Amino acid sequence: MKELVVISGKGGTGKTTLTGAFAELAEDAVLADCDVDASDLHLLLKPRVRRREVFRSGRVAQIRTADCTGCGLCHDYCRFDAVIPPAAPQPSPDVAGAYAIDPIGCEGCGVCVRFCPAQAIDFPERESGLWFVSDTRAGPMVHARLNVAAENSGKLVSLVREQARRLAEATGRERIIIDGPPGIGCPVIAAITGATFVLAVAEPTRSGRHDLERVLGLAQHFAIPAGICINKFDLHPGLAGEMTHEWAERGVPTLGQVPYSAVVTHAQVAGESLLQSQPTAEVTERIVSIWQRVAARLDGAAQAQPEPGAEVRP
C-alpha cells in the first residue's frame, strides 16, 4: 500500500487544491482528509457520507454546582486558567460561591477532580469531533472534523489514516492520498509517520521558505522521501529558483511549479472540478505533469521500502 501525504508548513498554499486534483487523476486511490482542524477537501469532492462516528479523546472536568462548597482549591491548583471563580455579588444564596470549569480551557488533567474535598467534580470522556467514511467522484474518502477548542493531538489524524488503510484493504486499492494538516506539530507527525512519500507545497515567499524548512526537516527526521511543489512561483521566480536549488542539494527534488492563476479559484468558486472545467489551462496541464512525477516517485519509493515487519533501523 502506498501513502502519499501532501503537506505545507502553513495553510493556504494550495495543498488541498492539489490533493483534490491528484485524487481525480489517480483513479484508484482512497482519499484521506487529515486536515481535521479545518478540513476543506470535502468542499471539492462533495462526499456522500456513508458512515458517521463520534470521536472521543481525553476528558473534561465538570463541577456539580449543587455539591460545590466554594472552597476554591480547584482554582488554586488549575495550571490552565480553566476554573472560573464565582462572580460577586451572588444574587441567590443557593448558588453562592460555586466555581465552574471552562470546558474550553480545561485540558483534562484530572487534578481538580482528584483533589476536590467535596468530590464534586465529574470527569466524563470528551466528545471531541466526528469522523466519516464517504463516497466521492474520485473514490472513497475518510474525513473528520474536530470540535472548536478540541485538543489537536494527532489522534484523530491517526484514526483517519487507519480507517483509510482499512478501506484500501477492503476495496483492493493500492494508493492512499492524504491531505495533510498545516504546521509541524503532532497532527503533521501523525499524518506522515510511516508514509511512502511526502509532497511539500510551498510559496516563494520569505515566510514560505521559512516554513518549508521546518516541514521538510520533519520529513527528513522521519526518513521519508520527499518532493516539493512551488505554487504561485511567478510571484517571485528568483526565490522559487533558490528554494529549488537549495533543496535539490539536500536530496529533495522540486517536482513542479504552478503559476499564480485565477483559473483555480474560479473553478473552486463555481464548485467545479478544475480538471473537468479547465482541462487545457496552463495551470491544469502543469498539475497533471506534477501528478505524473509524484506518482512515479510514489511507486518508486514504495519499491525501495522494506516489507512491513522487517527490521527498519538503518
Residue ranges in 273-302 that form contacts with other proteins under rule CB under 8 A? none
- Cis, bond preceding 89 (omega within 30 deg of 0): yes
> Cβ of residue 223: shortest distance to other proteins, in angstroms?
8
**Nearest-5° angle of CA 82, CA 83, CA 84?**
115
> Cβ of residue 148: shortest distance to other proteins, in angstroms?
5
List beta partners, residue 134. 49, 141
Amino acid identity of residue 255, one-letter, is L
The reply to whether 2 sits near other proteins by the rule CB under 8 A is: no
Taking CB under 8 A as the criterion, the residue among 131, 236, 258, 291 binding other proteins is 236
Q: Of 128-157, which residues contact other proteins (CB under 8 A)?
A: 146, 148-155
Q: Of 75-104, which residues contact other proteins (CB under 8 A)?
A: 77, 79-84, 87, 89, 100, 102, 104
The rounded distance, in Å, linking the Cα atoms of 110 and 116 is 10
The reply to whether 109 sits near other proteins by the rule CB under 8 A is: yes
Q: Closer to other proteins at the Cβ: 128 or 284?
A: 128
- Among candidate residues 314, 13, 298, the one with its CA nearest the CA of residue 177: 298
> Cβ of residue 169: shortest distance to other proteins, in angstroms?
11
Site string for other proteins, 196-235 (x = CB under 8 A): -------xxxxxx-xx--x--xx--xxx--------x--x
The rounded distance, in Å, linking the Cα atoms of 196 and 303 is 10
How does 76-100 read in b/e, with b if 16+ C-beta sit within 10 Å? Answer: eebeeebbbebeeeeeeeeeeebbb
> Cβ of residue 192: shortest distance to other proteins, in angstroms?
10
The reply to whether 304 sits near other proteins by the rule CB under 8 A is: no
SS3 labels along 19-50: HHHHHHHHCCEEEEECCCCCCCHHHHHCCEEE
Q: Closer to other proteins at the Cβ: 12 or 251?
A: 12
> Cβ of residue 59: shortest distance to other proteins, in angstroms?
7
Taking CB under 8 A as the criterion, the residue among 260, 279, 285, 292 binding other proteins is 260
The reply to whether 16 sits near other proteins by the rule CB under 8 A is: yes
- Residue 110, sorted as left (phi over 0), alpha (psi -120 to 50) or beta, turns out to be left
Q: Of 45-64, which residues contact other proteins (CB under 8 A)?
A: 57-59
Q: Where are the beta strands (DSSP E) in the chain?
A: 2-7, 29-33, 48-59, 62-63, 83-84, 100-101, 121-122, 125-136, 139-146, 175-179, 197-202, 226-231, 254-258
> Cβ of residue 189: shortest distance to other proteins, in angstroms?
4
The reply to whether 305 sits near other proteins by the rule CB under 8 A is: no
> Cβ of residue 86: shortest distance to other proteins, in angstroms?
8
> Cβ of residue 311: shortest distance to other proteins, in angstroms?
5
Q: Closer to other proteins at the Cβ: 11 or 253?
A: 11
The rounded distance, in Å, linking the Cα atoms of 239 and 291 is 23
The reply to whether 20 sits near other proteins by the rule CB under 8 A is: no
- Among candidate residues 8, 51, 268, 209, the one with its CA nearest the CA of residue 141: 51
Question: How many residues bind other proteins, per CB under 8 A?
Answer: 82
